[in-house]
A and B are shown apart, each in its own frame.
Chain A
Amino acid sequence: MRYLTDRKRAVGKGASHTGTEDHWYMTMSSVALAFLVPTFLIIFGRALGRPAAEVVQIFSHPFVAILTALVTILGMRHFAKGAQMMLEDYTHGSLRKGLVILVFSLAYLVTAMVLYALAKITFLGLLLGAAN
């Protein structure tokens, strides 16, 4: 009698050990980004070159703040996994591990930078709003 089901013996096998999880994540995040990015691109582009007070006003708006956070979080996870796939194609061994750790760290660093800026801008926006 077999105690393991066929599925249990199959899961985790194969070259990646994770099935098509990464590919499916890229598909999901790409669809989300396809909806988010065009609007973000215009808002960011139009904010560029404005004085600091106006930039704070733009990015402290709830819609812009949430859109920027979503684009950053999804975009950076999409980048990390995409860059990992590229590194897995072209590098091997310890170099691959090191570079994958590097790009994951970079993605988390940029995410933290943007979320920190957004948090601070939201509070600055509140102060500016109170002053008006």
Chain B
Amino acid sequence: MAETKRVERPLSPFMIGPYYRAQMTSMSSILTRITGNALIASFFLGAWWLIAAATSPSYFDFVNWLATSWLGFLVWVGSAWAIWYHYLAGLRHLYFDAGKGLDIETAEKLGWACIIGSVVLTVITVIIVMI
């Protein structure tokens, strides 16, 4: 076999921009992955908060103070949005898996539905939680 010359080619996530034009479909798909994986941080914080509640009132006061600070509020609202985005994009994936909605026009509409829908559901969730 002839010696092949190894060429350093850019890998998938580093293609966007210089080699790959961002589209609605690909960006909404990548965002599914980002939100899903980022949620491990929220889950870890939630588990910590739950353990604190079972440990002692003084320790819980510290964790609860952190969880209800403005930074904590931003983290929870961000997590709620990540959950709802991942949720809607996941439903879209199930629809795609069934072989439906794969033409470009429908797929792009579904992408917008995920983005707008996730914001709407986040606002509704925050209202239900706060009242």
A: residues with CB less than 8 A from B are: 27, 30-31, 33-34, 37, 41-42, 44-46, 48-49, 51-53, 55-56, 59, 68, 72, 75-76, 79, 82-83, 86, 89-90, 103, 106-107, 110, 113-114, 116-118, 120-121, 124
B43 interface residue, CB < 8 Å from A? yes
Query: Which secondary structure dominates chain A's binding surface?
Result: helix
B50 interface residue, CB < 8 Å from A? yes
B: residues with CB less than 8 A from A are: 11-13, 33, 36-37, 39-40, 43-44, 46-54, 57, 60-61, 64, 67-68, 76, 80, 83, 87, 90-91, 93-94, 97, 125-126, 128-129
**B50–A114 touching, CB < 8 Å:** yes
The 5 nearest A-B residue pairs measured at CB: A45-B129, A120-B54, A117-B50, A113-B47, A55-B53
Would A79 and B47 be within 8 Å (CB), given that A34-B91, A42-B128, A120-B54 are in contact?
Answer: no
Q: Count the A-B residue pairs with Cβ separation under 8 angstroms: how many?
A: 102
A81 to B94, CA, bound (A): 17
**A117–B40 touching, CB < 8 Å:** no
Query: Which secondary structure dominates chain B's binding surface?
Result: helix
Tell me which of A42, A83, A114, A121 contacts B129 (CB under 8 A): A42
**B13–A90 touching, CB < 8 Å:** yes
Would A79 and B39 be within 8 Å (CB), given that A89-B12, A114-B47 are in contact?
Answer: yes
**A110–B80 touching, CB < 8 Å:** no
Tell me which of A27, A53, A113 contacts B97 (CB under 8 A): A27
